[in-house]
Amino acid sequence: MSKCLAYSKEGCSESFVDHVERVVAVWDMLRPYYLLPVQRALGVGGDPVLYAAVAHDFGKLALAYQDQGKKRHFYRHELLSAYFAYKCFEGPEEAKVAVSAAVWLHHEPIITSAYITQLGESYMPLYVVKRTLEFLQDELVVGCDYQEVSSHVRKWNSCLAESLEQWAEKGLDIAEVMRILKRVLVKATVGGIERAHVMRAKIAAVLYPLIVADGVAAYVGRAVCGRCGEEQRGTKVIRAALCGAEPLDKAALLKLCR
């Protein structure tokens, strides 16, 4: 099987392992400033953002993403990534939901366009998630050489590594995936206005540093194509982060381009 990729477009590719390593490296720069507030918001110890960084692209390991086939444009990797993020996070239920939802939303403009706006909806209906998973079921198998990924992931979280190996060997139970995604969606959105504000704060506490770490890592990671950060200007958040809004070590970022 081929190497697992996190990005591939017009002759430019970045391996899954390299991308995750870069995301973690950027988070290492941000951790001293963000970890304590994240822990307080979620009511947990440990490092929820590191966990989300490792899990956030798990869905890209599916054949539906790796194959670059006709069904690729129907598939958003965040669905399976959110499933795995919930499955292996150790903590209170609200924290599990917040981390999973943050992973689900780390490309929010893209996933809302794919599964909400283009369908004429004002929110993400569960039937869209269900039909998407059912339509792609044959391609929701591991589509690349997962052993290198498993080895790297294990140093951060053994449950994610073991879940990847189980997925590769036995496939996914789509009903279980749907059950967990439904649970996350309902618990993240249903309830009174006070609870909605609490859940939004918990999700945002993980989502913002995850977006910054992922975006900056992807931006500098295009060095595999010989053009570090030149492929695109990045989002407004990433441009601001690179211009001094976040405590990023520019010399260290340049090393990530190699």
Whether residue 110 is predicted with pLDDT greater than 60 in this model: the reply is: no
More confident residue, 254 or 73: 254
Could you read off the pLDDT of 188-233 as tens digits, one per residue?
988 899 999 999 999 999 999 999 999 999 888 875 566 554 445 5
In a domain, 12, yes or no: no
Average pLDDT, the chain: 88
Model-wide pTM > 0.95:
no
Structural domain contains residue 255: no
Looking at per-residue pLDDT, the higher value among 75 and 83 belongs to 83
pLDDT of 23-38, one tens digit each? 999 999 999 999 999 9
* Total number of domains constituting the chain: 1
The answer to the question of residue 237 being in a domain is no
Q: Is residue 223 part of a domain?
A: no
Residue 231 confidence (pLDDT): 47
Range of the domain at 105: 17-207
Tell me if 64 is assigned to some domain: yes
- Assign 3-class secondary structure to the chain: CCECEEEEECCEEEEHHHHHHHHHHHHHHHHHHHHHHHHHHHCCCCCHHHHHHHHCCHHHHEHHHHCCCHHHHHCCCHHHHHHHHHHHCCCCHHHHHHHHHHHHCCCHHHHHHHHCHHHCCCCCCHHHHHHHHHHCHHHCCECCEHHHHHHHHHCCCHHHHHHHHHHHHHCCCHHHHHHHHHHHHHHHHCCCHHHHHHHHHHHHHHHHHHHHHHHHHHHHHHHHHCCCCCCCCCCHHHHHHHHHHCCCCHHHHHHHCC
